[in-house]
Chains A and B, each alone.
Chain A
Amino acid sequence: MHYPKPRHKCETHKTQRREESGDSRGVAACAIRVVNKWMGDQMRSGRIAGLAAIVLAALVLAGCAQRQSQNVYKYDEVGQASAVTFGTIVASREVDITGKNTGTGGLVGAAVGAGAGSYAGSGSGNAWAISAGLLAGAVAGALIEQAAADRTGVEYVVMLQSGVALTVVQDIGKGESTLPDGMRVMVQNTGGYQRVLPAEALPTQMARPKGIELVD
C-alpha cells in the first residue's frame, strides 16, 4: 500500500494507518514524541536554563494574579449591593500571608525534572535519573509556587460603632497603602469577603433621602 510522504517528522506509515482507522493513539504518541524531541533539543543545545526560566516565569506570574483588595473587585461583585458597618481603626500591623499552593508548581516541576532526567544516564541509570529529576522538580516547583503565592498583608483591629471589636486581615494591592490608626472606616462584606475601606470623606450626619410621594 502506498502512503503519502509524512506531513511532519514523527509521522510514520503506522500512525497514518491508525489515523485512517480513527485511532487517535498515533496522534497522541506523535505529540509526546514532538514534546520529548523539543525538550531533548533544549537539553542538547544547553537551553535548559531558558526552559526552566519559562516555567518559573509562568509560576511567578500565576502567583501575581490579582487578588481581591481595597481597590480590586472580582467580576461577580460588580452590580452587587454590599453591607457596610462603620468603625475606627484602633491598631494595625504587618502580617505574613501564606499563599494557596494549588499543586500546579509541583506538577510542572515534576514534569520538567523527569524530562530533564530522561536525557541523563542509560539503562537503569536513566530510570534513576528520571525518578530523581521528577522528585527534585516536584519539590522545587512546589517551593517556587509557594514562594510566589506568599505575601505580606495588614491586620486591622477595628472598633465598630456598636462597641464590637474585630480583626480583619487585608491583602495590600499594587499601589495601595495601609490605612492609619484612628481613621474612620467602613467594613464592607461582599459574599463573606470583608474590606476595610476609608470613610473619613463620608458625612456623619445627613438629611433623610427623600422618596417620591404620590399625589392623586
Chain B
Amino acid sequence: MRASLFALALLALAACSSPVKVGLPNADWNDGGRIPGRYAATIQSGAWRKDISAEGFACGGWTFPTDADGAYAVAMKKALDDNFESVTLTPEMKPADLAAQGYDASIIVYQGAFDTRLLIVEQAYWTFGAEASVGMSGIVALVGPGGLIGQASPEGSGARRGKIALCDDAGPMISTASRMALMGFIQNATREARALATTTR
C-alpha cells in the first residue's frame, strides 16, 4: 500500500512543470556619456527559451520552462539607448542602405548559447538545496556603410543557490541566475559595441 502511494506520488511529481519568468535585468551601464550618431540596431531574439530539467534524484521529473527572451530584448534596447545618441530598431540592413537611410552604422546583436544547469542536492536528511547556473553568449557586430567594422563575442553568467522545500522553489533561483547572466551579457555587448563605434570615430 505504501509502495503504491509512493509510486503514485512519484508519477504525479514527474508530470509537474513550473514556468519561470525572468525579470528585467538592471543593465544600466554607461561609461563616458552617449556616443554621438544615428544607429540602426538589430537585436535577434527568439532563441533564449528552453525547458530546464533538474539534475539529481530529487525533482528529476520536474521541468522549468524558462523564457529569457522578453526581458532580454527590452533590456538590450534600453542599454543601447543609454549608450548611443540615437538608436532605431530595424531589420538587418545592407551596408549600402545605411547611408541612404541616414544611419552612421548598424549594431547587430546575435544570440548564441543559452547554457543552463539546475542541480538538486540533499544537504542533510530530507533537506534539499538547489544550485542554478546560467550562461549566455552571442555576437555583437558593427556594420558601417563600407561593410563590417568589427565583431566581438560577449558572454554573461549567473548562479544562485539556496534551500528548497518543494521542487517549485527552484524556479526563482533559475530566474535570478538568468537575470544575472542577461545583465552580464548586455553590459558586455554594449561595452563591445561602444568600443567598436569609438574606433571608427
* Other-chain contact of B139, A80, A82, A166, A190 (Cβ < 8 Å): A166
Q: How far is the CB of A87 from chain B (nearest CB, A)?
A: 11
Find out whether the CB atom of B151 lies under 8 angstroms from the CB atom of A83.
Answer: no
Find out whether the CB atom of B139 lies under 8 angstroms from the CB atom of A164.
Answer: yes
The residue in B63, B110, B112 that gathers the most chain A C-beta atoms within 10 A of its C-beta is: B110
User: How many chain B residues touch the partner (CB < 8 A)?
Assistant: 28
* Other-chain contact of A162, B48, B51, B92, B111 (Cβ < 8 Å): B92
Find out whether the CB atom of B46 lies under 8 angstroms from the CB atom of A189.
Answer: yes
Q: Is B47 an interface residue (CB 8 A)?
A: yes
User: How many chain A residues touch the partner (CB < 8 A)?
Assistant: 19
Find out whether the CB atom of B49 lies under 8 angstroms from the CB atom of A191.
Answer: yes
* Other-chain contact of B112, A82, A161, A165, A189 (Cβ < 8 Å): A189
Residue of A nearest to B114 (CB): A192
Q: How far is the CB of A102 from chain B (nearest CB, A)?
A: 10
Interface residues in A63-101 (C-beta closer than 8 Å to B): 76, 80-83, 85
Q: A162-B92, A163-B148, A164-B151 are in contact. Are A194 and B112 (CB under 8 A)?
A: yes
Q: How far is the CB of A31 from chain B (nearest CB, A)?
A: 14
Q: What residues make up the interface of A, taking CB atoms closer than 8 Å to B?
A: 76, 80-83, 85, 160-166, 189-194
8 A-B contact pairs sorted by A residue (CB < 8 Å): A81-B46, A83-B44, A162-B106, A164-B139, A164-B151, A166-B110, A189-B47, A191-B50
Q: What residues make up the interface of B, taking CB atoms closer than 8 Å to A?
A: 42, 44-51, 63, 65, 92, 95, 106, 108, 110-115, 136, 139, 141, 143, 147-148, 151
